Amino acid sequence: MIIITIEMYVPADKTKELLQTLLAVTERIRMETGCIGCDLLKDVSDENKYRLVGKWEQEDDVNKHLHSEQVSVVLGAMSLLEKQPEIRLDVVSCTKGMELLHKARGEQKSITMRK
C-alpha cells in the first residue's frame, strides 16, 4: 500500500474556497483505479491545518494518479495556502492492528467489543 499525505496550512479567508475544491476532488479521487481511500482531515488543535490523505494499492496506480486531472486541481489549489505544503509518500509493506498492541502489552486475550 502507498499513502500520500499532504499537510496544508490554509488562511482563514481562503478556507471555504479551498475546502469546496478539495471536497469535490476527493470524491473523484476515490473513484480512481487502485484508490483504497481518500480523506480530507482537519487538525483539531490548529484550525488552519488540514491533511489530504490518499491510500493506493500499488505504485502503478499512484503513477496514474499523479498524472491525473485531480492532482492538477490539487496543485492549483495550493496557491491559496499560507506556506508550502508538506507532501509525504509512504510505502507500507506490512500493517498490524490490535494484535500488535496486545503483544506489546503482554496480553494474551483480545478486547471484546460491546454492542
Q: What is the mean pLDDT of the chain?
A: 89
Cα(32)–Cα(69) distance, rounded to whole angstroms? 11
> Which domains does the chain possess?
2-104 (3.30.70.100)
Query: Which tens digits make up the pLDDT trace of 55-99?
Result: 999 999 999 999 999 999 999 998 888 899 999 999 998 777 777
- Percent of the chain at pLDDT above 90? 73
pLDDT class of 112 with cuts at 50, 70, 90 = low
**Predicted structure pTM score:** 0.81
Estimate the share of the chain in helix, then strand, then coil, as percent rounded to the nearest 5. 40, 25, 35
Instruction: Lay out the sheet containing 49-56: strands in order across.
Output: 35-42, 49-56, 2-9, 86-91
